[in-house]
Structure 1
Amino acid sequence: MIFALDIGTRKIAGLLVDMDENGKMIVHDVILREHEHRAMLDGQIHDVEKVARAVSIVKSELENRNNVKLDKVAVALAGRFLKTYFGEASADVSEVGEITSDVVTKLELEAVANTMENVEPSMYCVGYSVVKYELDGMWFKKIEGLKGNQASVKVVATFLPSHVVEAMLSVLKKVSLTITHLTLEPIAAVNITVPEDLRILNIALVDVGAGTSDIAISKDGTIIAYGMVPLAGDEITEAITKTFLLDFSTAEFVKRNLESSEILKVKNILDKEKEIRRADVLKAIEPIVDYMTKQIADEIVELNGGKPQVVMIVGGGAKIPIFAHHLAKHLEMDEEFVSLKMAKNLDFIDETGQIFGSEFITPLGIGYTALTKTGSVFEHVTVNGERVQLIGFKGTYTVWEVLAQMGKDIHALLGKPGKSVVIEINGTPVVVKGKMPTPASVKINGIPASLRDTVKHGDVIEVGEATDGEDAKPSLYDMVKPIYLRSIETEQVIEYYPRVKLNGKEVFQNVELQDGDSITYEKIKVREIREFLAQDLIKIEYSINGVYKEAEAGEVKIFKDDMELRDENTVEPGEELRYALVLNYPRIRDLPEMEKISIVIKVNGQPTVLTKDGFLVWVNDQLVTPDYEIKDGDKIRTQIPEEQNFIVADVLKLFDFDPRKVRRYTLLKNGEKVGFTDVLNSGDEITFEYETIETAERENESS
């Protein structure tokens, strides 16, 4: 059984509630008691002793009537002192793959930290609700487990002044009661009048008490905002007092009976009996009701971003017959959709037979939140050896919320990302991000946990310190990748770095970069890579005419995919090429010492240059042809021959034919028949025509 206590500005309501096997709340007993003096103003305790005496009377009467001992209580605080702030945060999640709970936690906590920038030091964060998640601009109910590029979250965080809770704790301590559940009055009211299945509707709940009018807004399946107007039933009572010269308690009597009586007999402050007509009272209070409802309507529109679909009115201060009419008028709504919510119409079991009006909504809500463990508070937890009294409006508390309530810096729990560095590469800025921080380690009762894990009364929490992420320290070769040269034969990879200028100066080694550095480089020519790889070719030594020489015995083949690259081709840093070192000994004809001789003649009317070696070559005292492959250690000697003439036979080498298959031919030099060994001189004209056996046969077949 739960002892639910509503300590209001004008009166105290105490209820004993329970829940049956079907989950329906049962009210076993209820006691209402007014404060003897105005010990509370606008929902705030101003005289702890007087309020404690009134609570003690309610507690004792319930104990005596029900033969129970009450030492625990569920209570609520007025919304007048609650402040809500919206916060937003976004993060690049393109590199994290699937979004984890840690990523979501960090995002949510950054959003809450964003709200704290404008909060006074004396305010405690007592909870937050996620208003919406977005991933790449699209709304999601949850983003954990999804993949995307940019994630963002919007939260509404609630804050409460410490003195409000401390005053409540002082009252209850004096009457030997321990808080097991603590909630906010508008949360209690909305929990019992607007269950979760109705929150898809845009509903404004207005709880009009004696000192404040609290507001809660539901939309899209959640409570999106809370608000308060510091005008309520006491303002109406004071208007009656001033108009009819009544003391406050008599004016309260008049106000409460307006709904049921046309004429009320009272004494004014001059002890004169007066008959006050209902119509006259309504006329007297209409200006203040009109003003109050205008302020409430404005607050609803501000919180909701427009008028809602439905307005539910609860609380004793809202029972004035003209209240709903004026509120509907200022909201520009049909009065059918602005209505007083009566406790008797709620889904609960009333064993007392006394619970009818809207003034019972909040005390019923307090009992309901306690039974369903929504909006509850735990007595205490211990954090790093320090006992912490929890102040909660959610029913559950996460580790980070406990730490936030203690005044811990959220950023200190998460750690700071390392500093980024901006490098300019060929004129384009590139951001190198620092490493992400490691959040503070957490243990609950010695078991590793996270900042998002929930705690319960008596839990022992151990929290370490966050480790800031390391600053970005990029090196030159982190930013300018090498060309990866993969050997076709061995599959081994060689890295080839391009020539790079750092801040205008050429560098030849890997160096650490600083913020603002400028890197420039050009595309790499294949010629450069070939020269680099040629260092691994076999080298041979030989002499020519007594002079020592050195040469590479082979060539480098370079491929991109299946295409062989030429020297003039270019490649970008980071590309992969394949290469092969082909063994290929140099030939005599390739030697630069081999002088060539040439003449210009005409062959079948076309100018033609004839070229041939101008030397005779001996290798190791053996005469060799120009196609001889030079070996390591060869001794080469050249000689200019006495006769270097070109002959007609040299021309025949220009034609691709098999002499054995020639059927007939015509060979003329300067128009006259000539032999194969006749000498040629520059300017000679050669005519050579021939017919092969295959050609003659084809012509015969066609004819």
Structure 2
Amino acid sequence: MIFALDIGTRKIAGLLVDMDEDGKMIVHDVVLREHEHRAMLDGQIHDVEKVAKAVKIVKEELENRNNVKLDKVAVALAGRFLKTYFGEATMNIADLGELTSDIITKIELEAVANTMENVEPNMYCVGYSVIRYELDGMWFKKLEGLRGDNVTIKVVATFLPSHVVEAMLSVLKKVNLTITHLTLEPIAAVNVTVPEDLRILNIALVDVGAGTSDIAISKDGTIVAYGMVPIAGDELTEAITKTFLLDFSTAEYVKRNLEKNEVLRVKNILDKEKEIRVSDVIKAIEPVVEMMTKKVAEEIIELNGEKPQVVMVVGGGAKVPTYTQFLAKHLGIDEEYVSLKMAKNLDFIDRTGQIIGSEFVTPLGIGYTALTKTGSVFEHVTVNEERIQLIGFKGSYTVWEVLAQAGKDIHSLLGKPGKSVVVEVNGEPVVIKGKMPKPAPVKVNGREATLRDVVKHADVIEVGEAADGEDANPMLYEIIKPIRLRSLESDEIIEYYPRVKVNGNDIIQNIPLNDGDVIKYESVKVKEIREFLAQDLIKIEYSVNGAYREFTAGEVKIFKDELELRDENSVELGEELKYALVLNYPKVKDLPEMEKISVVIKINGQPTVLTKEGVIVLVNDQLVSPEYEIRDGDKIKTQIPDEQGFIVADILKLFNFDIKKVKSYNLLKNGEKVGFTEPLESGDEIIFEFETIEDMEEVD
């Protein structure tokens, strides 16, 4: 059973229909509902909420009376802003065998797609009719079951602005209805009133609603054109309102009862009872009827190229007396060839007993086109084994658009990003974002695809669930970047982290961070890094006179590029420095125990200070010089010699000569000749003069 819904300018009609074994439509129930105020104008939805409210009432009444759940609906759109385009498509079918309805639909939709080359942006194709079927160059009324080489199909497609379609979708979404069939109102009306066998005649169908007068033209066995005039029944109602000072709803009552009474009793806007004669009303609206029919006649002739043989008029707006007479006049044809088509005269089964007047033709047509699957621009694809109709033909759809129309939740397709964490670092906010989600896995016809891939009619789509992104779970050292220290010897890198406080607490390890944590750190000096690296220097242990000692045998050199850094230099987090560990053993002469003694004397008239070690050193019981390099495990002893004074021989180290080459010398201490072992004391004056062998040779 199909729920057919006609959302008109003045009222909504909901029908429950199906088809018997002989292909005849059965109407099981019908509900009519007037709009509150003027929620629609000229066939277009202006107040989504009010229209949705009325649709909900119709839907629920049908559900309650028939004990059914309605979640799918067939609808039609009025022809306001209608544009039509022609297109055709050809396909080689030699290898396809008998033509099926799916193959034919595919070619029809390709023809519709070909009309879109000249269509302005933001337009939806909302319906089409086939103008001509050809098989191997020959015309056929139907193609199903036939075989051949090439099929050509020509169509006329109807387009409306996207906002018209989207308004309808918004209304239906609010009442939990999914469109399974969408067409244009004149297509629906012509399908039920002008059977294919009659389309050999040149017939103009005029559907006069409250806001628009929609037109369809048949000729040579098919529908050849669609059109629209934006003038209809509301123009008549407004004329009655102005002439007799009635509110709009009272004027509507008068208009609808012109054929039932000779005199109508109503209240005007001044709350005064008033009798209105039908003849006066007809006279008052006659200029408007003439204007309306004149414009409709002009549009028919424009679409048809000439006056038609027959005109069928449907819709509630055409029920006023004189409409068909004036239309015949302006078309220049006999009145007997222009008639109001009543729903009760159509070939269907009415179980309600209410489907009588011309206003029911379009609702019946919506149900009929849905049952026969004609006039709709729906393509279909399969999503996770469920067949999905695509609303508003565009020529191509992305997987994303298909899934959106199938009612998939956006989050289930894209997933949600993980939650972020915000911390404060030295007074500045830092945002650590959660991980991005993984979109739902998609396959089209068994092949890996994405949500942006384009699909076509009859494609099979498989879609899984998106994976939400993980929440941010930052660690301290993701925020506090290390200083990278690269060894010049091994090229290995050591990471150095500064001293950090988190929420006032000293932290020396990589801890998880929480939203709102406050992190503080101070700039890093080279001295800190040097002390850190010095831990890798060689440490030696030794003893001096039985006392244990430890010494770091070396130094750390730190470079930025080629520049050696000093201890007071600052280093930015994330920088890379180079370093070298230079081995350097301590010497005996550097020991604190190595006391020095000195005297001040004059040598050849110059004041001079003589200095020497005041102790002797034994390392591992062996006498060593002050230049000895101390090694791990050495046992050092120091002794004060018995004789600690200076002798004249101590001055010889101040002269640069080879004692073996001295030929003669003169040595005086305080003016007297002395030997080299003579003791020296502070204040002594020494004269030392000498002559070498080289000096004598130069004189010769």
TM-score bracket relative to the smaller structure: 0.5 to 0.7
**CA distance, structure 2, for counterparts of residue 14 and residue 328 of structure 1:** 32
Check conservation: 1:99, 1:146, Cα contact below 8 A: no
Deviations 1:542-571 (A, max 9, x none): xxxxxxxxxxxxxxxxxxxxxxxxxxxxxx
Letter in 1 for 2:344: K
Check conservation: 2:289, 2:323, Cα contact below 8 A: yes
Residue 357 of structure 1, CA deviation: 0.3
How many matched pairs?
A: 410
**CA distance, structure 1, for counterparts of residue 250 and residue 108 of structure 2:** 52
Determine the structure 2 residue equivalent to 1:277.
277
Change (3 A) 1:145 1:2: closer
Letter in 2 for 1:296: V
Determine the structure 2 residue equivalent to 1:327.
327
Letter in 1 for 2:461: V
Determine the structure 1 residue equivalent to 2:458.
455
**1:102-501 residue pairs with structure 2 within 5 A?**
115-126=115-126, 129=129, 131-132=131-132, 140-141=139-140, 155-376=155-376, 381=381, 390-391=390-391, 400=395, 445-446=445-446, 454-455=457-458, 459-460=460-461
Determine the structure 2 residue equivalent to 1:605.
none
Determine the structure 2 residue equivalent to 1:6.
6
**CA distance, structure 1, for counterparts of residue 259 and residue 54 of structure 2:** 28
Check conservation: 2:73, 2:177, Cα contact below 8 A: yes
Change (3 A) 1:259 1:405: farther
Residue 110 of structure 1, CA deviation: 9.4
Residue 388 of structure 1, CA deviation: 8.7
Change (3 A) 1:273 1:305: same
The higher radius of gyration belongs to 2
Aligned to 1:455, what secondary structure does the other structure show?
A: coil
**CA distance, structure 2, for counterparts of residue 261 and residue 44 of structure 1:** 32
Change (3 A) 1:163 1:242: same
Residue 273 of structure 1, CA deviation: 1.5
**1:56-95 residue pairs with structure 2 within 5 A?**
56-87=56-87
Residue 134 of structure 1, CA deviation: 9.1
Change (3 A) 1:344 1:152: closer
Deviations 1:88-139 (A, max 9, x none): 7999x9xx999999xx999999976774344221013456555458999x98
Aligned to 2:80, what secondary structure does the other structure show?
A: helix
Change (3 A) 1:352 1:109: closer
**CA distance, structure 1, for counterparts of residue 229 and residue 401 of structure 2:** 29
Residue 246 of structure 1, CA deviation: 0.7
**CA distance, structure 1, for counterparts of residue 221 and residue 51 of structure 2:** 38
Letter in 1 for 2:349: I
Letter in 1 for 2:367: G
Letter in 2 for 1:156: V
Letter in 2 for 1:374: T
Residue 319 of structure 1, CA deviation: 0.3
User: Which structure 1 segments of 5+ residues have no match?
Assistant: 408-442, 463-703
Deviations 1:197-241 (A, max 9, x none): 111111111100000000111111111111100000000100111
Check conservation: 1:75, 1:179, Cα contact below 8 A: yes
How big is the alpha-carbon RMSD for the aligned residues of Structure 1 and Structure 2? 4.2
**CA distance, structure 1, for counterparts of residue 55 and residue 297 of structure 2:** 34
Deviations 1:492-513 (A, max 9, x none): xxxxxxxxxxxxxxxxxxxxxx
Letter in 2 for 1:80: R
Check conservation: 2:315, 2:360, Cα contact below 8 A: yes
The alignment's TM-score, normalised by the length of structure 2, stands at 0.52
**CA distance, structure 2, for counterparts of residue 134 and residue 366 of structure 1:** 28
Letter in 2 for 1:33: R
Change (3 A) 1:111 1:357: closer
Aligned to 2:223, what secondary structure does the other structure show?
A: strand
Residue 67 of structure 1, CA deviation: 1.7
Change (3 A) 1:404 1:194: farther
**CA distance, structure 2, for counterparts of residue 109 and residue 357 of structure 1:** 35
Letter in 2 for 1:14: G
Letter in 2 for 1:224: V
Change (3 A) 1:2 1:193: same
Change (3 A) 1:192 1:106: closer
Residue 452 of structure 1, CA deviation: 13
Residue 19 of structure 1, CA deviation: 1.6
**CA distance, structure 1, for counterparts of residue 108 and residue 400 of structure 2:** 16
Change (3 A) 1:268 1:112: same
Aligned to 1:68, what secondary structure does the other structure show?
A: coil
Aligned to 1:28, what secondary structure does the other structure show?
A: strand
User: Which structure 2 segments of 5+ residues have no match?
Assistant: 403-442, 448-453, 464-700
Check conservation: 1:315, 1:362, Cα contact below 8 A: yes
Deviations 1:446-480 (A, max 9, x none): 49xxx998538xx4399xxxxxxxxxxxxxxxxxx
Determine the structure 2 residue equivalent to 1:571.
none
Change (3 A) 1:388 1:158: farther
**CA distance, structure 2, for counterparts of residue 379 and residue 90 of structure 1:** 18
Letter in 1 for 2:363: P
Aligned to 1:260, what secondary structure does the other structure show?
A: coil
Compare 17-26 and 348-357 and name the one that shifted more.
Answer: 17-26
Deviations 1:552-597 (A, max 9, x none): xxxxxxxxxxxxxxxxxxxxxxxxxxxxxxxxxxxxxxxxxxxxxx
**CA distance, structure 2, for counterparts of residue 105 and residue 67 of structure 1:** 34
Change (3 A) 1:87 1:363: closer
Deviations 1:255-274 (A, max 9, x none): 00001111111111111111
Where do 4+ consecutive residues of structure 1 move more than 4 Å?
Answer: 87-91, 96-101, 104-115, 126-130, 132-136, 138-148, 151-155, 376-380, 399-407, 451-454
Determine the structure 1 residue equivalent to 2:17.
17
Check conservation: 1:124, 1:405, Cα contact below 8 A: no
**CA distance, structure 1, for counterparts of residue 347 and residue 63 of structure 2:** 26
Aligned to 1:246, what secondary structure does the other structure show?
A: coil
Check conservation: 1:33, 1:58, Cα contact below 8 A: yes
**CA distance, structure 2, for counterparts of residue 446 and residue 9 of structure 1:** 46
Deviations 1:138-173 (A, max 9, x none): 98559999899xx99864233232211211111111
Change (3 A) 1:23 1:345: same
Change (3 A) 1:13 1:127: closer
Change (3 A) 1:86 1:405: farther
**CA distance, structure 1, for counterparts of residue 462 and residue 310 of structure 2:** 44
Aligned to 2:321, what secondary structure does the other structure show?
A: coil
Residue 401 of structure 1, CA deviation: 5.8
Letter in 2 for 1:354: Q
Residue 30 of structure 1, CA deviation: 0.9
Determine the structure 1 residue equivalent to 2:489.
none
**CA distance, structure 1, for counterparts of residue 263 and residue 195 of structure 2:** 40
**CA distance, structure 2, for counterparts of residue 175 and residue 165 of structure 1:** 16
**CA distance, structure 2, for counterparts of residue 363 and residue 73 of structure 1:** 12
**CA distance, structure 2, for counterparts of residue 262 and residue 167 of structure 1:** 41
Aligned to 1:190, what secondary structure does the other structure show?
A: helix
**CA distance, structure 1, for counterparts of residue 365 and residue 106 of structure 2:** 33
